[in-house]
Chains A and B, each alone.
Chain A
């Protein structure tokens, strides 16, 4: 497949895995078998992480598996699943993987694996996967539902020592790139990423899904998805988890030990802009699942088109050109400039007098917007500049784009961090 789109080269080399574009399908139901994966390649996806293989006998799934957190127009904000790893035999999966890789040599094909945390199990499966010719493996150490109850998935991913151990086995018994997929169901994402690195992993991918209950059936007092009269927590994904994933990607990208560790960004990537954001925060590729499950594989066309046009506009010649470009601007709170001041400005020509900024500021923020009633009865909303702390709330509540802008103020004061701030009682003596 041509990696040049709109005159821009979208090809990537991710930890040694080459792909014609950075858009990969994550290990999940859409990559369960050759039929789906071939359709994805036909649609133009740059790579696929095959749905997690395990030891035989294959997992058995329950009926009723997904649920969603809906917006009021039934748009899916978040998505939840209680599906386990592949429920097909290892032999069938390996045969299909080998065939697909043979038929689609230019696309990335990565195999997700989850077996018990014992050396023998990994020693057994890795040569079988290697024989398929796939480009690399991804260790599923993050599945939050079902599998941890059996000592796998997130049960491993929540223990850095086990991560390191498993990664080491994989590097020992497998010759191609090893990606460790991390679970977000922990307190500090840097610890498992460092453990993966110590174990010799070539890259990490994140985030796996988040423990969740999306909604309840209030008539029957049971959560969704409902299996008979019961439910269980599932893995949360989709657009709503993007902010959590972005932060975790950034945490690893700016952490000294893992600064150069390749990251495959996962979590709510739904369009080219989401992808660009992950890449700017340090990702070298992105993985998509929910958006494809909601709209089909065709969305990759818009993603490639949008990303390449934006890159051309910004004169980025490759994905690597802007990968990690926003990392250095992402810092700890203590390094923020205490002297920076921004205040809201309302464009009266754009204002539609809905009053949302006013009531939000008046009730819940700093009482910095005045409601003036003109003689005609029309309302006018004005920022009380001396009261405004520049919190952005009014801009967020405003339904009109570009009506409220945050205007940086010239204070004449130099940069001063909290560590330098005389108001800081724990300030280090300079």
Chain B
């Protein structure tokens, strides 16, 4: 990726961006609660019956119970309550858009109070401070079955952990060099500090019975036909590996890059000062990736960061809270404009972008012919991820039924192929959230287990 941006100056060339300044800029966005704060906050929970927050949690965590356990000083109990539903409860506590999930539905968020219990931070408190002598979940007797899981992201990891609890063995095939998926590579650095994604996976693997093989990419050195033949079941937690293209001339020009690639590099960088800096930066998109990209570039010292979206703020998939973070970091959010042309300098590098103003007509987005330009040293596209089609190109994989580009599954996460299941961002239902992926993986594990047991009985 840096090839696209290597003509840019380094972040560290700006004398203000000292290692200390950079470290400060990428500290925890929301500092964790102290013990005192956690206890006080836990008392605000009303311990609702049939609590709306549980219904709003995609992973079904018994929120009132874990909060009550925190209030009673039972931190390991609280952590176990969280983890038994969501083994990645630590990262979800950091990255969940709680403002549209549990905290939105909190009864203390009603008009008279407008101040939900800080569920996300309490969940983080419990999972940060748990202290188990041994892994809190045990494996049942070995079933003799081995399941292949493709992708060591949240869906695959959650599936693997639950499968081992149910007595199966798991081999995870991961394309990258590290586990964690987007937790490791795709979340803004200030949302997941201190190498937490790696530590969380280490904790998860303590259960035993899970082997991860790295550098294994479906459609490259791995194919579904082979997995299907070699394993009792296969779970596909592929994610969405490809960035959507703008479809404009100049898309390959130096200075134009997918936001996810830059974020990945930022997350893995040992020295933030070595990253390329777009002093004037344009981000195209409206989701959390666009926000993360714009905000992080601002924190790296960019002079001018503009986020451009073709519709209005109300249509942005980034939550109000996320938009607020961007604005607070000096990001300008420009709506009702769509990219028209990549502007290049004499050297063929990105010099800016021409946009066309848009508006809505009969529910359709239409251009107005009115255009404007924004000068930029780099343009990042964050207009969504799509399926990496190459990954499902072998003779068996091509048979997978799809909903649009995504893999079609039934209510038990079964694909159209026998013994093949899928979950996470690569399937159609649900929001593309970490917590949703964890739930898919967990439920798919139960479905796999049930189907295997049913077959055993039938045999």
Question: Which residues in window 14-55 of B have CB below 8 A to A?
Answer: 39-40, 42-43, 46-52, 55
Interface pair A72/B71, CB less than 8 Å apart: yes
Residues of A within 8 A of B359 (CB): none
Looking at the assembled complex, report how far the CB atom of A308 sits from the nearest CB atom of chain B, in whole angstroms: 31
Looking at the assembled complex, report how far the CB atom of A162 sits from the nearest CB atom of chain B, in whole angstroms: 46
B113 (CB) vs chain A CBs: closest residue: A352
Given A72-B39, A73-B39, CB of A371 within 8 Å of CB of B107: no
- B108 interfacial contact with A, CB 8 Å: yes
Looking at the assembled complex, report how far the CB atom of B318 sits from the nearest CB atom of chain A, in whole angstroms: 25
Residues of A within 8 A of B110 (CB): 352
A371 to B50, CA, bound (A): 10
**How many residues on chain B are close to A (CB under 8 Å)?**
17
Interface pair A379/B112, CB less than 8 Å apart: no
Looking at the assembled complex, report how far the CB atom of B351 sits from the nearest CB atom of chain A, in whole angstroms: 51
Residues of B within 8 A of A354 (CB): 46, 48-49, 51, 107
- A105 interfacial contact with B, CB 8 Å: no
Interface pair B39/A353, CB less than 8 Å apart: no
Partner of A352, one of B40, B43, B108: B108
Given A73-B40, A353-B52, A356-B49, 9 more A-B residue pairs with CB atoms under 8 Å apart are: A72-B42, A73-B43, A352-B108, A352-B112, A353-B48, A353-B107, A355-B48, A371-B50, A379-B50
**How many residues on chain A are close to B (CB under 8 Å)?**
15
Looking at the assembled complex, report how far the CB atom of A23 sits from the nearest CB atom of chain B, in whole angstroms: 31
- A377 interfacial contact with B, CB 8 Å: yes
Residues of A within 8 A of B51 (CB): 354-355
Those 10 A-B pairs whose CB atoms lie nearest each other, nearest first: A355-B49, A359-B49, A352-B107, A354-B48, A354-B107, A352-B110, A354-B46, A355-B50, A72-B43, A399-B46
A355 to B105, CA, bound (A): 14
Chain B interface residues toward A at CB < 8 A: 39-40, 42-43, 46-52, 55, 71, 107-108, 110, 112
A377 to B50, CA, bound (A): 12
Question: Which residues in window 273-324 of A have CB below 8 A to B?
Answer: none
- A400 interfacial contact with B, CB 8 Å: yes
Residues of B within 8 A of A72 (CB): 39, 42-43, 71
**B-contact bits for A70-98, CB 8 A (1 contact / 0 none):** 00110000000000000000000000000
Residues of B within 8 A of A371 (CB): 50
Interface pair B49/A358, CB less than 8 Å apart: yes
18 A-B pairs with C-beta separation under 8 A: A72-B43, A73-B39, A352-B110, A353-B107, A354-B46, A354-B49, A354-B51, A354-B107, A355-B50, A355-B51, A356-B46, A356-B47, A356-B49, A358-B49, A358-B50, A359-B50, A379-B50, A399-B46
A172 to B42, CA, bound (A): 59
**B-contact bits for A374-407, CB 8 A (1 contact / 0 none):** 0001010000000000000000000110000000
A353 (CB) vs chain B CBs: closest residue: B107
Residues of A within 8 A of B40 (CB): 73
Looking at the assembled complex, report how far the CB atom of A396 sits from the nearest CB atom of chain B, in whole angstroms: 14
A327 to B62, CA, bound (A): 48
Looking at the assembled complex, report how far the CB atom of A383 sits from the nearest CB atom of chain B, in whole angstroms: 16
Interface pair A400/B112, CB less than 8 Å apart: yes
Interface pair A377/B112, CB less than 8 Å apart: no
Question: Which residues in window 355-374 of A have CB below 8 A to B?
Answer: 355-356, 358-359, 371
Residues of A within 8 A of B39 (CB): 72-73
B36 (CB) vs chain A CBs: closest residue: A74
